[in-house]
């Protein structure tokens, strides 16, 4: 539970709140996050308890639109998910398609090195859409969800994200569509991504922030 709490705090404390109207559609039928005898985890947990505030984890586009129906890319997802990595984590990974001057370089490098969002044979594929399987794995990996046993007809036995998909489904964070399938390889909209994170953290819209 401590690991889950830390994940929640990371979301709340990393940014100021921006998503206040995200669609609550995360089904498979989408429309298109001291002292020598004190461990680092315990210290972070104690500090986090005093640092909670309603923070933001997603940005709007340059023209002030959130674009809820647009699929979130792996580069964008890397930025969102990087908020959940401990600040003192200094791991990094290099990719052939992630130049050092790219806006997402640090995010992609850290999240991949941390193990929550992998690359593919030396490539990160930043412009590709994040898949539902990838999001399920990342949330489970970063949040340390309890193992569960929820089956979907389109999730093959032995699939690399099988356990994570089961875990997020059991936790009520993501679900299948009306046909019962998880839509493993389907994309995730920006609204759905916001809804997934909000569900995990138990967050609700800040009505005072709605214009």
Q: What is the pLDDT of residues 35-56, one digit of tens each?
A: 344 343 433 333 333 233 245 5
Q: How many CB atoms lie within 10 A of CB 39?
A: 9
Beta-strand ranges (E) seen in 32-154 are none
CB 143 within 8 A of CB 170: no
Mean pLDDT value across residues 13-25: 36
Spell out the residues 6+ positions from residue 187 whose beta carbon is closer than 8 angstroms to its own: 30, 32, 71, 72, 129, 130, 131, 132
Phi-psi category of residue 187: left, alpha or beta, with phi > 0 → left and psi -120 to 50 → alpha: beta
SS3 assignment, position 34: coil
Q: Which one, of 124, 125, 128, 186, lies nearest residue 155 by Cα?
A: 186
Mean pLDDT value across residues 166-194: 95
Angle in degrees, 0-180, between the axes of helices 2-14 and 40-48, rounded to the nearest 10: 50
Tokens linked to 69? 């129906």
* Rounded-to-integer distance, Cα 196 and Cα 55, Å: 16
Q: What is the pLDDT of residues 103-128, one digit of tens each?
A: 999 999 999 999 999 999 999 999 99
- Kindly report the average pLDDT of the chain as a whole number: 77
Q: What is the pLDDT of residue 89?
A: 95
Q: What is the pLDDT of residue 42?
A: 39
Q: What is the pLDDT of residues 132-173, one digit of tens each?
A: 999 999 999 998 999 999 999 999 999 999 999 999 999 999
Q: What is the pLDDT of residue 58?
A: 60
């Amino acid at each position: 539970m401590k690991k889950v709490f830390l994940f929640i705090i990371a979301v709340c404390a990393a940014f100021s709140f921006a998503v206040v109207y995200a669609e609550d559609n995360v089904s498979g039928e989408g429309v298109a996050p001291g002292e020598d005898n004190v461990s680092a985890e315990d210290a972070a947990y104690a500090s986090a308890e005093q640092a909670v505030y309603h923070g933001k984890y997603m940005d709007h586009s340059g023209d002030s639109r959130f674009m809820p129906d647009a699929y979130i890319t792996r580069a964008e997802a890397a930025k969102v998910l990087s908020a959940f990595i401990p600040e003192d984590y200094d791991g990094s990974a290099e990719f052939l398609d992630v130049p050092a001057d790219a806006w997402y370089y640090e995010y992609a490098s850290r999240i991949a090195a941390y193990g929550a969002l992998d690359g593919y044979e030396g490539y990160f594929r930043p412009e590709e859409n994040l898949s539902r399987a990838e999001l399920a794995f990342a949330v489970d990996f970063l949040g340390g969800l309890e193992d569960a046993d929820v089956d979907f007809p389109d999730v093959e036995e032995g699939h690399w994200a099988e356990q994570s998909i089961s875990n997020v489904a059991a936790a009520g964070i993501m679900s299948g569509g009306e046909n019962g399938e998880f839509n493993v390889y389907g994309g995730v909209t920006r609204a759905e991504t916001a809804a997934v994170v909000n569900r995990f953290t138990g967050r609700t819209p800040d009505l005072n922030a709605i214009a």
